[in-house]
């Protein structure tokens, strides 16, 4: 971590040691440094404090001429000025990003990929605030720095360690006592410089548990959540159970199950609730969501905040056109939602063993966690070693 207090010292030191005598020689030859120190001081005094501080970081000689005064004034500036200064520095430091919580530069490598389910969560400031859960009880969570880093990589155009693969996730929970299997799949796209995510939740139950399940959802919808507004309000707390009941009624009366895209009036999300009859194996309720998590520039961004808190719900009503987020995501998606659904169905019915790492009947490698969760191993070239995949969690 580079704090505001020591960033100056570190970068000046880097300028001295790394660039060495050659850079110093070039600097003295520059037109700017040929000016008398009084003129340089006069120019710097007309600059905004962050720009003057940046100027002092350009070379050891400029730092010597300008002295520590600008640096001291910068530390007493408002938080947004400090963040703007750090953002300027971060442009030339591809392996660092500005932490909006503690006004520091953190190394990108300290932030774990969301799909790595691990106890090593990185700097406390980056995860202690509310995160976004696709499924309330899942250990897969998105925190603001994840969006920041995905967007930073998008702007960089090269791999700086946080590709969209970092968000791909698939987990299955077998709850023997509830006779329930829950599956969650997540993938991400960047569209118009904003991070969009698509998640699909499946809940598979025997038909004998139908009414009990609907009653449980009316009590609390944590096991089959749509968004924070169905969990905590202000949406009707029976919305999830009512939707599930209506879809199951359609199945039982042989009607075609409705698949229209719905919209939460308080957050940037489109969703579809669907049900499938698997005969003797029971029924499954599917919820597919498309969320817009925003541009990752400011943690106070309304799009991001709308997914993690109900505080702003009063001021927001139908923030986007229904279906826009779904269409934007699907236009770029490698896998269509129909292909995703077919793929998830196979994984829902895969047989997995109770072993730390096992190959399921689908031929895929799964990691077992806490007695009832299985996480799908990353496909393609691993972002970390297989040993790490085994050890993390």
Provide the binding-site residues for Zn ion, judged by CB under 5 A. 99, 101-102, 125, 227, 229, 264, 266-267
Of 129 and 208, which has the nearer Cβ to Zn ion? 129
Residue 366 CB, shortest distance to Zn ion, in Å, is 31
Q: Which two tokens stand for residue 161?
A: 């360690």
Residues 6+ apart with CB under 8 A from 109: 95, 161
Distance CA 321, CA 313 (A): 17
- Nearest-approach distance from CB 62 to Zn ion, in angstroms: 29
Cβ nearer to Zn ion, comparing 180 with 289 = 289
Q: C-beta of 174: minimal distance to Zn ion in Å?
A: 29
Minimum CB–partner distance for residue 198 and Zn ion (Å): 16
Q: Which of 108, 138, 115 is nearest to 378 (CA)?
A: 115
Q: Half-sphere exposure of 101 toward its Cβ, with a 13 Å CA cutoff?
A: 14
Q: How many CB atoms lie within 10 A of CB 276?
A: 16
Question: Smaller CB distance to Zn ion: residue 100 or 223?
Answer: 100
**Minimum gap (Å) between residue 92 Cβ and Zn ion:** 20
Residue whose C-alpha is closest to residue 114's, from 195, 39, 40, 173? 195
What is the greatest pairwise CA distance in the chain?
88
Using the minimum distance from each CB to Zn ion, give the nearer residue, 99 or 181.
Answer: 99
Complex with Zn ion: residue 308 or 348, whichever CB lies closer: 308
CB of residue 313 vs Zn ion: minimum separation in angstroms? 8
* Least distance (Å) between residue 236 CB and Zn ion: 12
Residue with tokens 């009990």: 212
Closest separation in Å from C-beta 231 to Zn ion: 9
In the complex with Zn ion, the residue whose CB is nearer, 121 or 125, is: 125
Which CB, 101 or 194, lies closer to Zn ion? 101
Please give the DSSP secondary-structure letter assigned to residue 321.
-
Closer CB to Zn ion, 65 or 224, in the complex: 224
In 3D, which of 369, 249, 254, 270 has the Cα closest to residue 326? 270
Residue 101 or residue 270: which is nearer to Zn ion going by CB? 101
Least distance in angstroms from the C-beta of 7 to Zn ion: 13
The closest alpha carbon to 181, from 378, 393, 367, 372, belongs to: 372
Distance CA 215, CA 264 (A): 22
Contacts of 67 (CB under 8 A, 6+ apart): none
Strands (E) across the chain are located at 2-3, 96-99, 104-107, 132-133, 141-142, 169-175, 180-191, 194-205, 262-263, 269-277, 283-292, 357-359, 365-369, 373-376
Contact (Cβ atoms closer than 8 angstroms) between residue 98 and residue 149: no
> 316-342 as b/e, with b when 16 or more CB fall inside 10 Å?
beebeeeebbbebbbeebeeebeebbe
């Amino acid at each position: 971590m580079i704090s505001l207090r020591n960033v100056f010292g570190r970068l000046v030191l880097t300028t001295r040691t790394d660039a060495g005598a050659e850079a110093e020689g070039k600097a003295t030859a520059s037109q700017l440094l040929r000016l008398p120190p009084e003129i340089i001081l006069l120019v710097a005094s007309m600059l905004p404090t962050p720009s003057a501080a940046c100027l002092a970081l350009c070379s050891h000689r400029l730092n010597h001429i300008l002295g520590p005064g600008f640096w001291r004034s910068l530390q007493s500036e408002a938080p947004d000025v400090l963040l703007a200064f750090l953002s300027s520095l971060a442009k030339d430091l591809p392996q660092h990003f500005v932490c909006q919580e503690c006004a520091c530069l953190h190394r990108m490598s300290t932030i774990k990929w969301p799909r790595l389910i691990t106890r090593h969560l990185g700097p406390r400031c980056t995860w202690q605030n509310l995160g976004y859960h696709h499924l309330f009880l899942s250990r897969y969570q998105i925190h603001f720095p994840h969006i920041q880093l995905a967007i930073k990589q998008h702007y960089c155009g090269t791999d700086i360690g946080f590709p969209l693969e970092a968000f791909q996730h698939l987990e299955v929970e077998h709850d023997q006592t509830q006779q329930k299997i829950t599956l969650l799949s997540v993938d991400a796209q960047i569209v118009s410089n904003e991070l969009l995510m698509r998640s699909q939740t499946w809940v598979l139950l025997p038909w004998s548990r139908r009414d009990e399940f609907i009653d449980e959802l009316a009590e609390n919808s944590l096991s089959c959540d749509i968004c924070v507004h169905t969990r905590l309000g202000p949406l009707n707390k029976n919305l999830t159970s009512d939707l599930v009941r209506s879809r199951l009624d359609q199945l039982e009366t042989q009607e075609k199950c409705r698949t229209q895209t719905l919209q939460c009036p308080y957050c940037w999300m489109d969703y579809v609730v669907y049900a499938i009859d698997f005969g003797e194996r029971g029924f499954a309720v599917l919820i597919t969501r498309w969320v817009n998590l925003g541009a990752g520039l400011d943690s106070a961004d309304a799009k991001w905040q709308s997914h993690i808190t109900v505080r702003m719900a009063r001021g927001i009503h139908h923030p986007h056109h229904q279906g826009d987020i779904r269409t934007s995501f699907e236009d770029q998606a490698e896998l269509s939602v129909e292909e995703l659904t077919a793929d998830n169905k196979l994984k829902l019915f895969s047989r997995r063993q109770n072993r730390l790492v096992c190959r399921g009947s689908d031929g895929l490698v799964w990691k077992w966690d806490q007695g009832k969760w299985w996480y799908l191993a990353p496909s393609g070239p691993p972002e970390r070693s297989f040993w790490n995949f085994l050890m993390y969690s």
